[in-house]
A = this chain, B = another copy of it.
Amino acid sequence: MNFDLTPDQKLLESTMASFLKKESPVSRFRALREDPVGYSKSLWKTMAELGWIGLAFPESAGGLGGSFVDVAILLEQFGAGLVPEPFVASVLAAGTAILRAGSAEQHEAYLAPLIAGDTTLALAWAERGGRYDPTWVETTATKQGDAYVLQGEKIFVQNGHAADVLVVSARTAGTPGDTDGISLFVLPRETEGLRVTPVNTMDGQKAATITLAGVVVPAASRLGPEGAAAPVLDEIMDLGAAAACAEGLGVMRASLAMTVDYLKTREQFGVKIGTFQALQHRAVDMFIRTELAKSTSILASVKVSDPDPAERRFAVSAAKVELAICGRYVTQQAIQLHGGIGITDEHDIGLYFKRMHVLNALFGDEEHHLARFGAQPAF
């Protein structure tokens, strides 16, 4: 066992941290909350040039062949700095869909510009009736000659509001909940009949409702064999959940640091409030919860690449449950210990609180992963 980062990873971490500290202070995110895109396409390009996007792809697809642990290092920094660029949506969600299911031509067409930082992507999978189950696909794709007609609605599509290219799941056979019969389609944003309604999310980021009203797409835009996309989506759910764990860890560490700092400086009753034992113990509980979440986040980061899906699910679901337990506690108490200023929009701690709740809700909430954990063969 070795939990140390390699020297290369340590370098990566400090490079990322110092770059983001300079280029993406929280004040940048604050300003971008008012922006219709909500992030910077030029910073996205710069991140690509730094190799951050390529990190997540194998060399065969034009990437740098990094591990998920490398990606988790990046995402922890994203969490700590509230970096809004759509890494998870573009790279881990839609990017993985194209990587796993797509042909070499599709890799070339969609992944190359993504890795170059020229595009962002989105994966439209969630539907109202399915909650966190990606096999609950009511959206239909009906074959008509050499084309498909797509009909349905996708909700809370991360980066759906600004993505250049969308990957959409639709049912080519079967009924909602069936594993078989789900296909993925890749659609340029300007596809006729594709309606994108931007949606604000609680954390100050953006998403979209995607409506497909008889959208005709050529069969060539299908990713992989017809009806066989469920395992890819299952893997993406775990990648997304593991990403939330890494990013959430960054959120927690930043929240803890801000809170401890506040306890050391804020005075009431003539003393630093950090001298009050009840608040000290609360801060220690926040620290303990952060360390526990770190421990399971590491587990998820390593196991999410396990070739055995059962191993992967077991570890990721455990980590996502622990994230919910710990992240909720840490960010709630962070606000409480900040007192009044904690509930103003002016203070950053509230932004972390909100981001944490969003991370808990993305890619399966606590109850979802608790049930999934209990349903694994290893349980």
Contact = CB atoms under 8 A, between A and B. Distances in A.
A124 to B, nearest CB: 35
Interface stretch (A64-72, A276-284, A330-338): A276-284
Contacts of A280: 278
Interface string A263-298: 000000000000011101100000000000000000
Instruction: Give the interface SS of chain A, mostly helix, strand, loop or mixed.
Output: helix
A21 B232 CA distance: 70
Interface in A222-237: none
Interface string A40-84: 000000000000000000000000000000000000000000000
Nearest to A275: B277
A35 to B, nearest CB: 44
Interface string A137-166: 000000000000000000000000000000
A329 to B, nearest CB: 16
Nearest to A276: B277
Contacts of A277: 276-278
A42 to B, nearest CB: 50
A280 B281 CA distance: 13
A281 B336 CA distance: 15
A105 B176 CA distance: 65
Contacts of A278: 277-278, 280-281
A279 to B, nearest CB: 8
A361 B277 CA distance: 35
Nearest to A280: B278
A242 to B, nearest CB: 32
A281 B279 CA distance: 10
A276 B276 CA distance: 9
Interface of A: 276-278, 280-281
6 contacts: A276-B277, A277-B277, A277-B278, A278-B278, A278-B280, A278-B281
